[in-house]
């Protein structure tokens, strides 16, 4: 698979530019089901489970908090049945090894298998 850098300008509450945010995104749309990956899942809570937890919290006067961790897929080591390979990013090729590819050890944005990590 191939990838690219995506840059976004972060702004403060007055729309003044603060800093650039950069991330490397793999072109997951080019992955072919059955060849590059076999299943695509993301761990999510069932609605019945959430209703049960909310009910128990209401009975016990507990406070519930929601957390959204944006970099979850980037922190876990891959535990996939297949190895995932990608081309080296342009301008980051190792000298003398420009034709080599990388085996991913961690998830990247847009990777179809990221939910299995």
pLDDT digits (tens, 9 = 90+) for 76-85: 555 555 677 7
pLDDT tens sequence across 59-113? 999 999 887 666 555 555 555 556 777 888 877 787 888 888 888 777 676 666 6
- What does the pLDDT look like over 15-56, one tens digit per residue? 898 898 887 777 666 666 665 555 555 667 788 998 999 999
For residue 52, the model assigns a pLDDT of: 94
Return the pLDDT at 71.
Answer: 59
Q: Evaluate whether 52 touches 37 at the Cβ level (below 8 Å).
A: no
**The dihedral formed by the CA atoms of 64, 12, 10 and 42, expressed in degrees to the nearest 10:** 10
The whole-number pLDDT of residue 92 equals 77
Instruction: List phi, psi (to 5°) of 76.
Output: -90, 140
- Domain with 85, as residue range(s), is 3-115
* Structural domain count, the chain: 1
């Amino acid at each position: 698979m191939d990838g690219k850098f995506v840059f976004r300008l972060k702004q403060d509450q007055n729309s003044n530019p603060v800093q650039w945010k950069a991330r490397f995104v793999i072109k997951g749309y080019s992955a072919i089901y059955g060849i590059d990956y076999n299943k695509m899942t993301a761990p999510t809570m069932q609605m019945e489970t959430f209703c049960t937890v909310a009910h128990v919290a209401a009975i016990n006067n507990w406070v519930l908090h929601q957390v959204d961790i944006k970099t979850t897929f980037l922190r876990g080591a891959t535990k996939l049945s297949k190895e995932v390979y990608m081309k080296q990013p342009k301008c980051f090729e190792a000298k003398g090894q420009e034709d080599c590819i990388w085996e991913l050890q961690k998830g990247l944005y847009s990777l179809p298998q990221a939910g299995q990590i």
